[in-house]
Amino acid sequence: MRTERSLAELFVVDPERAEALAWGRRGALKGASLAALGAALGAAMPFGSRMPGGLLPAALAQPAGDAPVLRMDGKAPLLLLGERPLVAETPETLLDDDVTPADKMFVRNNGGIPERFAADPGTWRFKLDGEVNTPLDLSLGDLEARFEAVTLRLQMECGGNGRSAFVPETRGNQWNNGAISNCEWTGVRLRDMIRAASPKDTARFTGHFGADPHLSGATDRAAISRGMPVAKAMEEHTILATRMNGQPIPQLHGYPLRLIVPGWPGSLSQKWLTRVTLLAEPHRGQGMGGTSYRLPVRPIVPGSQNDGATFADMTSMPVRSVLTNLAHGARLPAGTRRIELRGHAWAGDEEARAVHVSVDFGATWQEVALQPPPNRYSWQRWSGAAELPSDGYFEVWHRATDAQGRMQPHVAANWNPQGYGANAIGRAAILVG
């Protein structure tokens, strides 16, 4: 079969270039993808004639399951991306629940974990200060007694989710699509607290502070300290959470108090929250300015140097989908002619409006069922099925569209030095027979 031959040539002649040409997965070939390629070469590609020129099969381009695994009490076997600070991503097939259980929640730390507070939430204080007439200094009891509690399912996604798709490679954790969670959070609205503090007219931005130590041990440096425009802080879904999935927040995820800023980069959702300050100018904390959580307003040359001075802060995360019932690299029994497909879709501040799937390299797409979110900022369940004409190598492509009509693009777009906002179409390679 012609496609198989050109595939083999592509691999033998120049695998690195082949990868770069294709869908943007870079890096050396790993064991599992070699095995998958071998399988793919041995298999018929029923839709091989529809494969766009220059496209590399996902079996080759995306390593499957060869990352080190997190082994930690209370956590599922997540993919370990870094140990110091601790960073781990959730494989898409572990994201099947509508509400993400604590053990399956991805981990992104920038500093250490403040163990010292785990034993004594009674001494925890939260301060709201800065451009306000009446600063607040509250215990957790005060906070829960004074302000109304709300419970919401909220997506929380790392600004760098999908980063590994950028070509050339960008700085930072090489996330696939698993830096996303959708937990049920209980807490009080930040806006109620801001109102109680009587903000001044000059209060236009926030700055967030947590108790986690800087990795260097320096006490005058924050592991991360980001901020946002007050308009986002005043949204009714921006909350200070004390409970997650009906339980105290796990220590690793911010116990006893954490900010949740749904739809925007996860870095705004400060864990181990001790203070929010209101500011007249954008906050200048760790993770603000330059190329941090900022995107080019006009595209820059991929791989070029840039200080980010003309970039804009990331706000809403872009539309994305995950496939949760079928793993990339799955092998299905010979004779399988119909596959059930399901997952979640979300779109930052927007709702997802549609999800489409394709099993013939994007030549044809079919729309699948998409549920409305149970509340704004929750991800949405999608489900459907696809028919396969025969045994062989297939790719399941899934592509979400947001309420503005924006779709996941074919490749990670708007390259930026720290690799934010990559939301390319999802592709899972499967082998039938």
Smallest gap from residue 165 Cβ to ligand MTE (A): 17
Q: Which of 40, 56, 94, 105 binds ligand MTE (CB under 6 A)?
A: 105
Q: Does the protein bind ligand MTE through residue 239 (CB under 6 A)?
A: no
Q: Does the protein bind ligand MTE through residue 260 (CB under 6 A)?
A: no
> What separation in angstroms does the CA of 318 have from each of 97, 353, 400?
21, 13, 10
Q: Which of 60, 107, 241, 357 binds ligand MTE (CB under 6 A)?
A: 107
Q: Which of 174, 238, 267, 378 binds ligand MTE (CB under 6 A)?
A: 267
What count of other Cβ atoms lies within 10 Å of the Cβ of residue 15? 18
Q: Does the protein bind ligand MTE through residue 253 (CB under 6 A)?
A: yes
Q: Which of 88, 132, 158, 357 binds Mo ion (CB under 5 A)?
A: 158
Q: Does the protein bind ligand MTE through residue 106 (CB under 6 A)?
A: yes
Residues in 108-147 that interact with ligand MTE by CB under 6 A:
108-111
- Dihedral pair phi/psi, residue 53, rounded to 5°: -60, 140
- How far apart are alpha carbons 26 and 163 in whole angstroms? 11
Q: Does the protein bind ligand MTE through residue 212 (CB under 6 A)?
A: yes
Residue 111 contact, options Mo ion, ligand MTE, none, Cβ 5-8 Å cut-off depending on partner type? ligand MTE
Q: Does the protein bind Mo ion through residue 90 (CB under 5 A)?
A: no
Q: Which stretch binds ligand MTE (CB under 6 A): 167-175, 265-273, 326-334, 368-376?
A: 265-273
Q: Find where tokens 């076997």 sit.
A: 77
Q: Which stretch binds Mo ion (CB under 5 A): 45-53, 182-190, 260-268, 353-361?
A: 260-268
The count of residues interacting with Mo ion (CB under 5 A) is 4
Residues in 182-211 that interact with ligand MTE by CB under 6 A:
210
- How far apart are alpha carbons 176 and 178 in whole angstroms? 6
Q: Which is nearer to ligand MTE, 289 or 302 (by Cβ)? A: 289
Q: Does the protein bind ligand MTE through residue 328 (CB under 6 A)?
A: no
Residues in 263-282 that interact with Mo ion by CB under 5 A:
266-267
Smallest gap from residue 87 Cβ to Mo ion (A): 9
Smallest gap from residue 203 Cβ to ligand MTE (A): 22
HEC string for the chain = CHHHHHHHHHHHHCHHHHHHHCCCCCCCCCHHHHHHHHHHHHCCCCCHHHCCCCCCCHHHHCCCCCCCECCCCCCCCCEEEEECCEEEECCHHHCCCCCCCHHHCCEECCCCCCHHHCCCHHHCEEEEEECECCCEEEEHHHHHHHCCEEEEEEEEECCCCCHHHCCCCCCCCCCCCCCEEEEEEEEEEHHHHHHHCCECCCCCEEEEEECCECCCCCCCCECCCCCCEHHHHCCCCCEEEEEECCEECCHHHCCCCEEECCCCEHHHCCCCEEEEEEECCCCCCCCCCCCCCEECCCCCCCCCCCCCCCCEECCCCCCEEEECCCCCCEEECCCCCEEEEEEEEEECCECEEEEEEECCCCCCCEECEECCCCCCCCCEEEEEEEECCCCEEEEEEEEEEECCCCECCCCCCCCCCCCCCCCCCEEEEEEEC
Smallest gap from residue 250 Cβ to ligand MTE (A): 8
- Stretch 268-297: interaction string toward ligand MTE, x if CB under 6 A: -xxxx-------------------------
Residues in 359-378 that interact with ligand MTE by CB under 6 A:
none
What count of other Cβ atoms lies within 10 Å of the Cβ of residue 193? 21
Smallest gap from residue 236 Cβ to ligand MTE (A): 21
Residue 161 contact, options Mo ion, ligand MTE, none, Cβ 5-8 Å cut-off depending on partner type? none
Smallest gap from residue 160 Cβ to Mo ion (A): 6
Residue 417 contact, options Mo ion, ligand MTE, none, Cβ 5-8 Å cut-off depending on partner type? none
Q: Which is nearer to ligand MTE, 108 or 275 (by Cβ)? A: 108
Residue 269 contact, options Mo ion, ligand MTE, none, Cβ 5-8 Å cut-off depending on partner type? ligand MTE
- How far apart are alpha carbons 3 and 46 in whole angstroms? 10
Which residues form the interface with Mo ion (CB under 5 A)? 108, 158, 266-267
Which residues form the interface with ligand MTE (CB under 6 A)? 105-111, 158, 181, 210, 212, 223-224, 253, 266-267, 269-272
